[in-house]
Chains A and B, each alone.
Chain A
Amino acid sequence: AQKVTQAQTEISVVEKEDVTLDCVYETRDTTYYLFWYKQPPSGELVFLIRRNSFDEQNEISGRYSWNFQKSTSSFNFTITASQVVDSAVYFCALSEAGGTASKLTFGTGTRLQVTL
């Protein structure tokens, strides 16, 4: 069975601080996909990134970066120089390859509060 753990329930930082959101996953599949989503107060989940299990390259997109390490089953998300607009709940999610396994298994989310 798949499982995603986000141990940090809530994080508060001051604007311009860097912050890392942790994600640890469990799966028996050798091929799987990891995702990060952002949920602002409006409720809509906004897709941020997808990572394949066979691609361990880290990725940077502006102030966002992701560190994928299969050895520790982790897919951590770092926001550099955080801004108030980054305040939201962030979800890490896992899906397995194809077939009937196309559902997303979500972690419980990390609420990020960025203040001035």
Chain B
Amino acid sequence: EAGVTQSPTHLIKTRGQQVTLRCSPISGHTSVYWYQQALGLGLQFLLWYDEGEERNRGNFPPRFSGRQFPNYSSELNVNALELEDSALYLCASSLEGQGNQPQHFGEGTRLSIL
């Protein structure tokens, strides 16, 4: 069974640009989560999508947004990139959006802002 897949693996952007990260969940999983792992800040919850709807959002500005498609894949969009957005962005999926379901993670997209 294929795990969570993310693309691209690495990305280099400059300040002010926009970026789109993609995530395909494990087959059968309906919930997708996005986390940011920035140096010195640890793993921070960004967004949770379930059945195509945004269910919860972390403490991030509106320039972080996303969506979930009918096939449950997801995109994370970041506008007006800032240097502090440099981080590893991890996507996870779970069977359903209940707190007891383990979240399974992809290998992440490493975003560098110059």
Contact = CB atoms under 8 A, between A and B. Distances in A.
Contacts of B107: 42-44
Interface residues on chain B, size class: 20 to 34
A102 interface: yes
B68 interface: no
Among all A-B residue pairs, the 9 with the closest Cβ atoms: A45-B105, A95-B99, A106-B43, A103-B45, A44-B107, A43-B108, A100-B56, A102-B97, A47-B102
A65 B74 CA distance: 35
Interface SS of chain B: strand
Interface residues on chain A, size class: 20 to 34
A105 interface: yes
A33 B98 CA distance: 10
Interface string A59-102: 00000000000000000000000000000000100011110111
A113 interface: no
Nearest to B90: A45
A23 to B, nearest CB: 14
19 contacts: A35-B102, A37-B105, A42-B107, A45-B105, A46-B105, A47-B104, A52-B100, A97-B100, A98-B98, A101-B99, A102-B56, A102-B99, A103-B56, A104-B35, A104-B92, A104-B103, A106-B42, A106-B43, A107-B42
